[in-house]
Chain A
Amino acid sequence: MTNEEISYSFEETGIRVVRNEHSARIIWLGVWDVRSPDVGIGPFFKALLPTLSGKKVAVDFCECEYINSSSINTLFQLLKDLNAKELDTELLYNSAVEWQRITFRSVKTVIQTLSHIHVTAN
């Protein structure tokens, strides 16, 4: 099975998508402290969504160094879009990193209404 990789960056943020016929991993990289991530990154996610149909998706935060509150909005929009397309999605975070543990504990509670999204600690 051949993996295809796409990278996208905006200011200090980065996204790497690794996908094959059956799955796709959306890896959030770097420091997410841009002023308007919806403007800078949102269009990339919108364009990516149609290419994910039929795949099992992972949204991976383990390598992310920081996320500001504006970027939480961008994450929620991505998760809502994935859920609306009924794509089974695993949101991964690193429980050894304190800020990720605190942030994603709340996120896990909040996104219980999105039936296709599941939060998993690595």
Chain B
Amino acid sequence: MKTMPKIIDVVIPKSWDFVRNVRSKVEEELGDLPLSLRYAAGMVASELAGNAIKYGDPNGPVPPHLSCEVTDKKVVIEVSNYVQSQELVHEVQSRVEQMSKAEDIEALFIKRLISFLNETAQGSQLGLYRIGYEGGFNLNSSYQNSILTLRATRGIP
């Protein structure tokens, strides 16, 4: 498999404008790929960056970071940010694990939407489910030295 350089590798600023801009930037940089994949990748980058700004610790020693890498077989979008709240880390990792084990990701997404409709959903994280269902990306998470990293991967047809 041919490895290609990261097409985006940036620190995420505190400004929400980044969330808007990164979506169009990713779509633009993936110009040779099918439209649906470009759109999905843009949504994934936007949702992950938005979560990093919303839930990351802005005073952490390491600023949040986003990268997008493309090989001839897959697109990988990775966001890492400093998080001290163990509760938040546990929530995110539980949701990612739940998605990775789900046999029917659409059913899981719908269940989450129903929670929102009924206002029983705690916190947010709907974006994680969109990444899995609407975006078709697989999510993995890791947590080391107070850095939470979410890695979204989707194969290229």
Contact = CB atoms under 8 A, between A and B. Distances in A.
A67 to B, nearest CB: 10
Given A12-B20, A33-B23, A69-B126, A98 B50 contact: no
Nearest to A103: B134
B124 interface: yes
Contacts of B124: 69-70
Contacts of B19: 33, 35
Interface residues of A, number: 24
A72 B116 contact: yes
A92 interface: no
Interface in B24-57: 35-36, 39, 43, 46-47, 50, 53-54
Interface string A66-109: 10111011001000100000000000000000110011001101
Interface in B131-152: 133-134
A106 B116 contact: no
A110 B35 CA distance: 27
B116 A76 contact: yes
Contact of B20 (A31, A73, A76, A107): A31
B156 interface: no
A121 interface: no
B126 A110 contact: no
Contacts of A113: 117
A35 to B, nearest CB: 5
Interface residues of B, number: 26
Given A33-B46, A35-B54, A106-B133, A72 B110 contact: no
A35 B50 contact: yes
Contact of A106 (B23, B39, B106): B106
Interface of B: 16, 19-20, 23, 35-36, 39, 43, 46-47, 50, 53-54, 106, 109-110, 113-114, 116-117, 124, 126-127, 130, 133-134
Interface of A: 12, 31, 33-35, 66, 68-70, 72-73, 76, 80, 98-99, 102-103, 106-107, 109-111, 113-114
